[in-house]
Structure 1
């Protein structure tokens, strides 16, 4: 590690500790200045994250305040604090993957189709791209909120085959900055990161020329060199540079502005030269190096109609287009087995062909492109039938996915029609019963006309919740889903007529109350136990010695407990707790083994203090038990400490500015989280300055 970066880390540490000390002094001084009447002016609230205790669905919402507070470089890094969510293969933009309840990204592919990523209603991502990454190339600065829905029971509005969960992202609106008032607002954010000498800049232009029209432009650039682990060793292939762009316009019209049209374009790109083909970092030189460019685009046109005084119409028509393009060029001679374009004379290279034969770079040279066009028509209505009140959401989806022909995988089209309905039925003040159904039909065929298949599936679930007057609620659910075949498997006739099937059962309890331990406090707790089973598997295989081939697993069973809690006091003190305990077993040929994608048990505890709207200071412990990394090797448990402080001046020349400083892995712990393919970053200091003009 060079002197420049050592100096960065040393002075960054001194600066943060100094700010923390001065923050404590300033907080105490402000409390003294406010006097005895301070407590009476504070509204009771939760901690950094609101626990969703009013629903049986296991969902976590990360709002704009928490997005800003965490100063995350990727969406994956932002949501890994959600119970049940883990990262696979690290937290770099091109290598990270999202694992929810043991499903999602794997050590080989960025997705297994069991976690859906939805951006402004658009279904994004790809299918099985070998060792390229998460397929979620986008920047957190573009978004105003992220919802993570775990499991199957709440997923039927968003797709089929979802066992892990759904990640929903909503881009920023101009009105988030103009507050609906006519005028022009500019927000500038600058961030510096010590570990990796990284920086980010984000410029937002929000313009509202009339009460009916609003327009937003956002340009964000995030850049970082390779980071150092806790022992001070540089971790190779962790550098990144990603520019992102968002343009969004909304026009509202009608006597009561009940109609609106919204158009948006969201784009991010990664352009790397002479980089390892294996973005996961699980192999050294086996696949060699490539020049690779990744372009990720999401465009949408949305019409919404919410007539005043009509509870039967809340229409949402959304036409979206998601395009992910990956262009790659293999660098000849960069693979271990490639001796200038021919196979090296080495026994380890036998699988590449006899020594001296031409070296095949079909995988590394493959260009990929996924284009997903979706028309979604959904209506929400509220009505009563006797003692029951219904909040019914029903919709139709027309989906076309087109995959480019590649040298390493077949191309084709996947056309689907889906119908869904979710009815939240409230009976009295205590019962909520929510049945959900989704029917989906598919026609999938190869571009060259060599294969064509039709499949369909009926899926559904039911959740039941009972709330006592005390604030205690009990809930349970059951759900069944099917994952229809994918374009990547067109070469396997068996897989193309065999949807994967899964069911999930859940039970849990929540509690919400005020004045629990004192006159001005509040407590929210939610505990959820789940159990899932996946069978008719096509996504996961083991090598069979009998057939000398890779054979699908027989079944996978997973279970776990997710805990979310938040406590807040009128004095501004708060405590957040998120925990996950997971287990999983895979079955193959009469044998059992630990589920390969099972995350380690983990816990996050945050203790913080707010002083009015000026200060927010917190300490966070992120801890996990021992587990296995991406290669299946054992990794030790760990506990790392993160410190954060936010200062928002309320008067003077800096009024309206936001100053955030954080220290992640404060004690420079050297560790490797479960499912990672590389060591995590050592101590890192982040400084963010933001102001809206």
Structure 2
């Protein structure tokens, strides 16, 4: 149990939390003020556990997947490798797991579009895209900050923001852009990314990005080949923004992004390194997002209106390769693909999500209370293609939400509410059972914070949410009927503190530290079955942990960044027996030590130590420590203006290990040298 641990860390945590929140685009505990001494911007003045990976860090990490990029955030686990098709994101023990790429307890959004599949067996396509399309990735951990983004969110929210033309033109009319070339020694991986930006006049801007990433099979630390680790993914982004009206109060932003992989003769099971029992397939994965956002922000505290219309489409087309699975036996391909037991191997999958979100932010006073309120509504239509393995259908939802930050002096209370109604309808008749189901839920939370006015503040929150049934719950079995008729419920409690200041230990330094303790309980479980069972769900799941982030920078340019997570979890069976929660994140600490010479040179050494690790079969793994080196150089000579050279070494000591929650056959990559050259023009 974590109780002694929590008592032991409370003193540390309560020595840490921040100054007053600055008004940003989002209100309440979604708003932040940022101060950094090292690579990572730390948010404070908020009761929300929030980490931002900005464009500079995206470039420095030279990650080949977004999942690889954000597994450095406390409580975040990269499940099953470094390929975009097979990897998944787990936050605080929820999200991707050892069976599915998603359990619906993490929301992923690209420019506001909700992306990711439902429960695809042995395919980790929760987030399929390329990091070079984005200027920022934001990770919100837990439930308290989720009510503007969806229901049933227990692990958290991953928000990706694509690049803008003004990032390259400086916000003035003209042309701009960049070209990046990247090479990775392990698997002879390479990438090219081109950005072309144009502002023909004030208020009009266009951006085009094309990125092509190619990677061969990787080598593990012991020199063996990691099977099923090669990929080739072209990605592109087109984006335009038009600003107009009196005082430029109105804007319309249009964006479209797409990533494709066309894999031939690969294992169906993306979590494994060989074909195994599931055989081999030709698989084409195509994920695209289209977004139109209108904003009206006049010179009025009462109006900041946004209307975001998005469409996300994920297609996975599969052709089974005859004779590649031992399950086939002497059957024909048609008979093999028609069998209820093996149909999933041959099934095509397609998920299309159309969503309209309208919200308004208003700032006003009622007597002595100052309000910063976000209110809005959503209409969502999600379609799943019929497959031989399961029926398709539609999930139509309507939701309204409100988040109101109320401040009286140094005390802030932020209540949040969300109401959501869903209607799921099967696209094919279901024998003997209804073909449509309706469900609704009211959920919400309360965050409290007190700012002492000297850089120190404390906060706490309580949140309740419900996960409404999903299309994948449709069916005629007793298990399916039980799942479609109920919603999963959870509550999360958090408490923590922050401190930030300058000239803390030496003249000209800056120091920020944040710690929080969380405890989550999930009941009326429909997502997880008892170990070894396919039809009996767990009674409940508990997840507990401590998260810590800190950044310290000196006037000399020396900096230290620290991120860590320590926790455990429990899964309770219907007979009230219990065991360790199988998806709990590992205990992990990450320390980065570096030095900056103005903007010209940045050298850093990162050490990541993980303990209490398990593989996908729940077998214990030994502790491991990985060392990474990074360097960024911006030549100061006039002929090299706008040039950036980055060099990195990952897994410096060539450690041979399996990642936490990964298949025991899918080892982590061994020593990898990376180099990239970027020219901005």
TM-score norm. by structure 2 comes to 0.91
The structure 1 residue matched to 2:446, chosen from 462, 475, 485, is: 462
| Residues 358-384 of structure 1: per-residue CA shift (max 9 Å, x gap) | 896411110000000000101001111
SS in 1 for 2:277: coil
Q: Give yes or no for contact 1:383–1:390 (8 Å, CA) kept in 2.
A: yes
Q: Which residue of 1 aligns with 2:497?
A: 509
User: Using the alignment, how far apart are the partners of 2:447 and 2:35 within structure 1?
Assistant: 30
Deviation of 1:449 after TM superposition, in Å, equals 4.5
Once the two structures are TM-superposed, the CA of residue 621 in structure 1 deviates from its matched residue by 0.3
Distance 1:515 1:435 in 2: 35
Question: Could you tell me which residue of structure 2 aligns to residue 518 of structure 1?
Answer: 506
Q: Which runs of 5+ in 2 are unaligned?
A: 1-33
Q: Cα gap change, 1:358/1:378 in structure 2, threshold over 3 Å: closer, same or farther?
A: closer
Counterpart residue number, 1:551: 536
2:482 to 466, 487, 494: 494
Q: 2:626 corresponds to which residue? A: 640
Q: Is the 8 A contact 1:44 1:521 kept in 2?
A: no
Could you tell me which residue of structure 2 aligns to residue 3 of structure 1? none
Aligned to 1:655: 641
Cα drift, residue 410 of structure 1: 1.1
Is the Cα contact below 8 Å between 1:543 and 1:551 reproduced in 2?
no
Equivalent residue in structure 2 for 1:472, among 448, 456, 467 = 456
The number of aligned residues is 635
SS of equivalent residue, structure 2 residue 67: helix
1:188 maps to which of 171, 179, 184? 179
Partner of 1:604: 590
Paired residue for 1:384, among 345, 365, 374? 365
2:427 to 444, 447, 451: 447
The match for 1:542 among 515, 519, 530 is 530
1:342–1:359 Cα contact (<8 Å) kept: no
Provide the C-alpha distance between the structure 2 equivalents of 1:138 and 1:70, rounded to a whole number of angstroms. 16
SS at match of 2:235: strand
Output the CA distance in 2 between the equivalents of 1:595 and 1:303: 43
Return closer, same or farther for 1:420/1:621 CA change in 2, 3 Å cut-off: same
8 Å CA contact retained: 1:543, 1:550? no
Aligned match of 2:354: 373
Q: Is 1:208 matched with 2:203?
A: no
TM-score (norm 1): 0.90
8 Å contact 1:45–1:568 — kept in the other structure?
yes
Deviation at 1:550, TM superposition (A): 2.4
**Structure-2 separation of matches of 1:282 and 1:413:** 34
Q: Does the CA contact (< 8 Å) of 1:330 and 1:365 recur in 2?
A: yes
User: Which one of the candidate residues 331, 334, 359 is aligned to 1:341?
Assistant: 331
Q: How does 1:392-471 map to 2 (within 5 A)?
A: 392-428=373-409, 430-450=410-430, 451-471=435-455
User: Does the 8 Å CA contact 1:522/1:568 hold for their aligned counterparts?
Assistant: yes
- 3-state DSSP of counterpart to 1:152: coil
Q: Which digits, 9 at most, give the CA deviation of each residue in 1:569-611, with x for residues without a partner? A: 1111110000001200000022101101012100110001001
Shift of 1:652: 2.5
- Indicate which of 552, 561, 570 corresponds to 2:555: 570
Give the secondary structure class of the aligned counterpart of 1:414: strand
Question: 1:630 offset after TM fit, Å?
Answer: 1.0
Contact 1:44 1:570 in 2 (8 A): no
- Would you say 1:103 and 2:94 are equivalent positions? yes
1:254-291, Cα deviation, whole Å (9 max, x unpaired):
12111111111010011100000000117742100000
Flag structure 1 segments of 5+ consecutive residues without an equivalent.
1-42, 344-351
**1:332-385 deviations in whole A, cap 9, x for unaligned?**
110123335369xxxxxxxx99xxx98964111100000000001010011111
Could you report, residue by residue, the CA deviation over 1:210-243 in whole angstroms, capped at 9, with x for unpaired residues? 0110000000000000100111111111001110
Contact kept, 8 Å, 1:44 with 1:569, in 2: the verdict is: no
Inter-partner Cα distance in structure 2 for 1:624 and 1:325: 36
CA contact (8 A) 2:340 2:389 kept: no
Partner secondary structure for residue 153 of structure 2: coil
Deviations 1:478-521 (A, max 9, x none): 00000000001111222112000000000001011111111111
Contact kept in structure 2, 1:391 and 1:423, CA below 8 Å = yes
Q: 1:528 aligns with which of 497, 506, 516?
A: 516
Match among 660, 666, 674 for residue 674 of structure 1: 660
**Any conservation in 2 of the 1:330–1:361 contact (CA below 8 Å)?**
no
Checking the alignment, whether the CA contact within 8 Å between 1:341 and 1:358 is kept in structure 2 is: no
- Give the counterpart of 2:565 among 552, 577, 580: 580
Identify the residue that residue 305 of structure 2 maps to in structure 1. 315
Distance 2:614 2:399 in 1: 38
Contact 1:105-1:134 within 8 A present in 2 as well? no
Secondary structure at the aligned position of 1:676 is classed as coil
Counterpart Cα distance in 1 of 2:516 and 2:371: 25
Separation of aligned partners in 2, 1:549 and 1:185: 55
Match of 1:76 in 2: 67
**Separation in structure 2 between the aligned mates of residue 528 and residue 44 of structure 1, nearest angstrom:** 18
* Aligned partner of residue 176 in structure 1, secondary structure: helix
Question: How far is the alpha carbon of 1:77 from its aligned partner?
Answer: 0.4
Residue equivalent to 2:16: none
Pick aligned residue for 1:327 from 313, 317, 330: 317
Which residue in 1 is equivalent to 2:609? 623
Structure showing greater Rg: 1
After superposition, the CA RMSD in angstroms is: 1.7
Matched residue, 1:39:
none
CA shift, 1:648, in A, is: 0.7
Structure 1 residue 460: deviation in Å?
A: 0.2
